[in-house]
Structure 1
Amino acid sequence: MTDTTDWAELPMRVGLGQFMEPTEERLRFAKQLGVDDVLLNMYQYDRPEYEHMPDGEEMPLEGDGVWSAENLVALRERVEAAGLRLNAIENFPTSFYDDVMLGREGRDEQLANLKETIRNVGAAAIPVFGYHWAPAGVWRTGTETVRGGARVSAFDADAVDDALTHGREYTEAEMWDNYERFLRELLPVAEEAGVTMCLHPTDPPMPSLGGVAQIARDFDRFRRAMEIVPSDNHGLEFCLGCWSEMGEDVEEVIRYFGGRDEIVYVHFRDVEGTVPAFHETFVDEGNYDEYAVLSLLDEVGFDGMMIPDHTPHVEGDSDWEHRGRAFTVGYLRGMLRAYRAERGRDR
């Protein structure tokens, strides 16, 4: 089965993501929420013990640092069989490219594997691949409660253990050098394969975590990241929560990168506070005006997918916060419908 979706013809829309196992139950749940697009987060699928999904069916991504085109096609067709579109895959397993990020021995082999995987993503007609440049991943230092006692994650720099996570300190200059090599190697392959790659901010956007400099942490550094190797196949995995954590002017950021058509898709969430201390919250509470953000995204011509990112863990929720995500999907769909009605548009 070959995907025939004309992605350029689709409007700004709400999807569902941030889960790894595309079980029939989860895909059915997505469809019941009224979305047509999903994003799968595959950061763990690099080891044989992940070859089976919870419902016992085979998981069509497996190890050795490469995802095959055959298995990626099977993944897309599984999503399509549920009446959905596989809009994007997010996150190589860190073990696929930790040597690349840190410039260690093994980098060349990993780069070769990454190129093969990107070619296979394109061959499987999956249009977007999101990635991060944070070897230690997402950091949090605790939890807090928000509206009604819902639990959320929190970060406080004063509570961070400053032990080295990767054996030594890695300077910002090193991380930029490694990143530039990654882009120069991967972006030509992505262009040839018809895949758009997009960068997620560091979460939290601190100068350094575990001794590793974090380069995707503010407006100026993102601008540099987009300018190192200019490409129509490179942009932002626009995580509103991370930009809110930074304390940047969200309107300025959207106008700049949206005006350059570099916002590929949006993680729609928010936090209260900014680095060095913040906690996550519901999408309708936080640092920015969510309706103004949605309006501005439309104004700059964004026509991609918006998904709930991290959500509060509400009463009776599952391990992937399906109830919290359902609230966010409904809230975003309601805002989008109201926004279009105000302008006499149906899409």
Structure 2
Amino acid sequence: MIEDLEQTFRWFGPADEVTLAAIKQTGATGIVNALHHVPSGKIWSTAEIKKRNDIIKAAGFRWSVVESVNIHESIKTDGKDRDRYIENYIQTLKNLSIAGINTVCYNFMPVLDWTRTNLDFRLPNGASALRYHAPAVAAFDLYILEREGAQNEFTSQQKKDAKKYLDSLDSTARQTLINTIMAGLPGTDEVFTIAQFKTHLKKYKGVDAAALKCNLAYFLRAIIPYAEEFGIKMCIHPDDPPFPILGLPRVVCTEEDLLDLINACPSPSNGITFCTGSLGANGNNDLPGMIDRLGEHIHFLHLRNVQREPDGSFFEADHLNGSNDMFAVMKSIIAEQKRRKDKGRTDIAIPMRPDHGHKILDDFNYNTYPGYSVIGRLKGLAELRGLEMGIKRSLY
């Protein structure tokens, strides 16, 4: 029998209203965590890492994956200080390795992390989901941000839909849209102002997708040899959504993009966080096929589903429902586990976490980070656990 995937849960630290005691009841054995209080670009000290790791261990868990050690914007834009920030990044990796933490998830999305327009999209059953509404993003880009060049990037119908959406908003809803799109990194309460965001956009004025991809390759060639020396597996998270928004390029959206970054610095330490929700928001991505072809490079799994809409919108669906065939996805993951076992690899129990759960039941009584309610994710984990067991029992 092939061993199970390692079941993990994301936890945002001591301030998270989802406690480690609550997570213990989900059946997860690993924690996905980061030092969100340390600013991007700063070194994570051995003392701070140990302090957090001791809390996780005391609760009966393993700190399975760091998500994320954020990459400073100077690295993404080829800023004058990028080599100094890369040196800091390498030192953080070394300090994590000293603590025995050896899987690090990161992303290379410019300025913003994952982007949504609605953090409380109500489903027919009353559950609350996250939603990306394409006309809302267009309305923000065209008529609130008023980004230079945006008028040339949308069709006449898209502009019409965007204006209609904007006109439907009162002042409160308009401000909510701004705050939702301008939210910063997960684990923080940072929200950019329009002026701050425009300043960031200026830094990317000469950075198109080709340049951003070159900057990613530079970063990888600098850190991966050290990661390999330290025994750390780096795994990039795909862009979310997997297409350019607000004039910012995205370079981790497709199978070709993933191949490019793997080939930029071939190494067992240069790998992928396979997020079925992020990649699955692009209907052209063949998720099971990507796992079949790129599976040896997958070090971490984010398993969730989205329901795509014709205009490019999507919302977070139930984990086993939606536009992506999660049965086929899980079957391909298990086939990759079998290949690893046959090759004598030891990393068969790939860390997996349920992602972006709905708010259901008692979740509404807690102020949790968007997408990270405890009961909604527990439901997702239970469904994924059952799917994995059913497939394995039927095959082996």
TM-score range, shorter chain: 0.7 to 0.9
Q: CA-atom RMSD, angstroms?
A: 2.3
Whether 2:240 is the aligned partner of 1:182: answer: no
> After superposition, where does 1:220-299 map in structure 2 within 5 Å?
220-247=256-283, 248-258=285-295, 261-273=296-308, 276-299=312-335
- The corresponding residue for 1:65 is 42
Distance in 1 (CA, whole Å) between partners of 2:245 and 2:116 is 11
Structure 2 residues not aligned, in runs of 5+: 142-146, 148-197, 338-347
Counterpart of 1:166 in structure 2 is 201
State how far apart, in whole Å, the 1-side matches of 2:249 and 2:241 are.
12
Q: Percent identity?
A: 25
**Structure 2 residue identity aligned to 1:316:** D
Measured in 2, the distance between the counterparts of 1:154 and 1:337 equals 30
Letter in 1 for 2:301: V
Match of 2:51 in 1: 74
> Match of 2:319, SS?
coil
Q: Please give the secondary structure, in 2, of the residue aligned with 1:198.
A: strand
Q: What code does the residue aligned with 1:13 have?
A: E
Q: Which residue among 304, 322, 334 is the counterpart of 2:350?
A: 304
Aligned pairs for 1:16-55 (under 5 A) are: 16-17=9-10, 19-21=12-14, 26-42=19-35, 44-47=36-39
| Corresponding residue SS for 2:334 | helix
* Residue aligning to 1:129: 104
**Deviation per residue, 1:6-64 (Å, 9 max, x gap):** xxx9642322115344879722222221121111144x3225xxxxxxxxxxxxxxx87
Which residue identity lines up with residue 141 of structure 1 in the other structure? T
Matched, 1:342 2:394: yes
Which of 115, 120, 128 pairs up with 2:90?
A: 115
* Partner amino acid, structure 1, of 2:235: C
Q: Structure 2 CA distance, aligned partners of 1:25 and 1:171?
A: 39
1:148 partner SS = coil
Q: 1:292, CA displacement in angstroms?
A: 2.7
In structure 2, what is the Cα distance between the partners aligned to 1:200 and 1:35?
A: 21
> How far apart are residue 106 of structure 1 and its match?
2.1
What amino acid does structure 1 have at the position aligned with 2:277? G
Aligned partner of 1:215 in structure 2 is 251
Answer with 1 or 2: which has the greater Rg: 2
Counterpart-to-counterpart distance in 2, 1:41 and 1:291: 30
Q: SS in structure 2 opposite 1:235? A: strand
Deviation at 1:114? 0.6
Counterpart amino acid of residue 16 in structure 1: F
Q: Letter of the 2:265 partner, please give it.
A: V
User: Could you tell me whether the CA contact under 8 Å between 2:242 and 2:282 is conserved in 1?
Assistant: yes
* Equivalent residues in 2 for 1:81-96, closer than 5 Å: 81-93=58-70
- Is 1:22–1:79's contact at 8 Å kept on the other side of the alignment? no
SS of residue paired to 2:201: coil
Q: Look up the SS of the partner of 2:281 in the other structure.
A: helix
Counterpart in 1 of 2:340?
none
Give the unaligned 5+ runs of structure 1: 1-8, 48-62
Q: Distance in 2 between matches of 1:13 and 1:129?
A: 15
Is the CA contact (8 Å cut-off) linking 2:23 and 2:374 kept in structure 1? no
Amino acid at match of 2:376: G
Aligned equivalents of 1:238, 1:295: Cα separation in 2: 14
Which among 337, 360, 379 is matched to residue 314 of structure 1?
360
Give the SS at the match of 1:166. helix
Q: 1:22 to 1:343 in 2, by over 3 A?
A: farther
Mapped to 1, the partners of 2:41 and 2:315 lie a distance apart of 37
Q: Give the 3 Å change call, closer, same or farther, for CA 64–211 of structure 1 in structure 2.
A: closer
Report the AA paired with residue 70 of structure 1: A
Indicate if the aligned counterparts of 1:244 and 1:271 stay in contact, CA closer than 8 A. yes
Question: Partner residue of 1:194?
Answer: 231
The answer as to whether partners of 1:146 and 1:281 remain within 8 angstroms in 2 is: no
Deviates more, 1:272-281 or 1:76-85: 272-281
- Structure 2 equivalent of residue 324 of structure 1: 376
AA aligned opposite 1:46: V
Distance 1:156 1:226, change over 3 A: same
Letter of the 1:157 partner, please give it. A
Count of aligned residue pairs for this structure pair: 315
Give the 3 Å change call, closer, same or farther, for CA 41–308 of structure 1 in structure 2.
farther
The SS at the match of 1:267 is strand
TM-score (norm 1): 0.84
SS in structure 2 of the partner of residue 38 of structure 1: strand
Q: Shift in Å at residue 343 of structure 1?
A: 4.2
Deviations 1:64-90 (A, max 9, x none): 701012321232222122111111101
Query: Which structure has greater strand proportion?
Result: 1
Q: Residue type of the partner of 1:166?
A: L
User: Greater helix percent: which structure?
Assistant: 2
